[in-house]
Amino acid sequence: MVEFATAGVASTFILISTFQLAIIMWNYHTMAFAIHEATRYAAVRGVNCTKPGNTCSTTIGGIATKIKTLGIGIPSGTVNVTFTTDSGAVTSCAPLSSCLTNTTVWPPSTNSDNKLGRYINISGSYQFQSALIFFWPGAGTQTFGRIGLPASSKQTIVF
Calculate ∠ Cα 41-111-64, nearest 5°. 30
Average pLDDT, the chain: 89
Q: What is the pLDDT of residues 4-45, one digit of tens each?
A: 888 888 888 888 889 988 999 999 999 999 999 999 999 999
pLDDT of 130 > 80? The answer is no
Q: How far apart are CA 151 and CA 35, in angstroms?
A: 7
pLDDT of 70 > 90? The answer is yes
Q: What is the pLDDT of residue 85?
A: 95
DSSP E strands in 64-144: the ranges are 79-85, 90-93, 119-130
Q: What is the pLDDT of residue 55?
A: 84
Give Cβ neighbours of residue 109 (< 8 Å, ≥ 6 apart): 47, 50
pLDDT of 143 > 70? The answer is no
Mean pLDDT for 130-147 is: 64
